[in-house]
Amino acid sequence: MDAENSRRDRCIDYIEFNVADIARSKDFYGKAFGWTFTDYGPEYCEFSDGHMKGGFDASAPATTGGPLVVLYGSNLTEILARVEAAGGNIAKPIFDFPGGRRFHFIDPDGYELAVWTES
């Protein structure tokens, strides 16, 4: 593992918002905060606030429970096992997406989070 990945291993690295309308979200956050955007098809757009990146995801209904917090993990299999051993439930097993692989889990209080790594 290189120094950059070691520094961010098991840290919050990305936040996703489920949104009803990507164009509306881009317009709002661009105007309000000056965020920049990279489109990845009709249902996904990455944003950058100049410090952290995140995404707008229109592939599922928008929810009011908050954004999806995404942690970085250098070894998804190991971290998935650690999540389960700590009492978390796997909501989405490891899957590929443009830019890498990730899994989602539910913590003991019912919050859904994800862990990702590069391909």
Return the pLDDT at 1. 67
The predicted model scores a pTM of 0.72
Where does 3-117 sit in CATH, by number?
3.10.180.10
Task: Walk across the sheet containing 112-117 and list its strands.
Answer: 36-39, 44-48, 53-57, 12-18, 68-72, 112-117, 100-106, 89-97
Q: Residue 36 forms beta bridges with which residues?
A: 48
Q: How far is the C-alpha of 26 from the C-alpha of 56, rounded, in Å?
A: 8
Return the pLDDT at 48. 96
Q: How far is the C-alpha of 22 from the C-alpha of 27, rounded, in Å?
A: 8
Instruction: Give the end-to-end CA distance of the chain in Å, rounded to a whole number.
Output: 14
- pLDDT digits 0-9 by tens, 5-35: 788 898 888 999 889 899 999 998 999 888 9
Residue with tokens 């443009």: 98
Q: Where are the domains of the chain?
A: 3-117
- pLDDT digits 0-9 by tens, 32-42: 888 999 999 99
- pLDDT digits 0-9 by tens, 51-100: 899 999 999 888 777 789 999 999 999 999 999 999 899 999 999 998 89
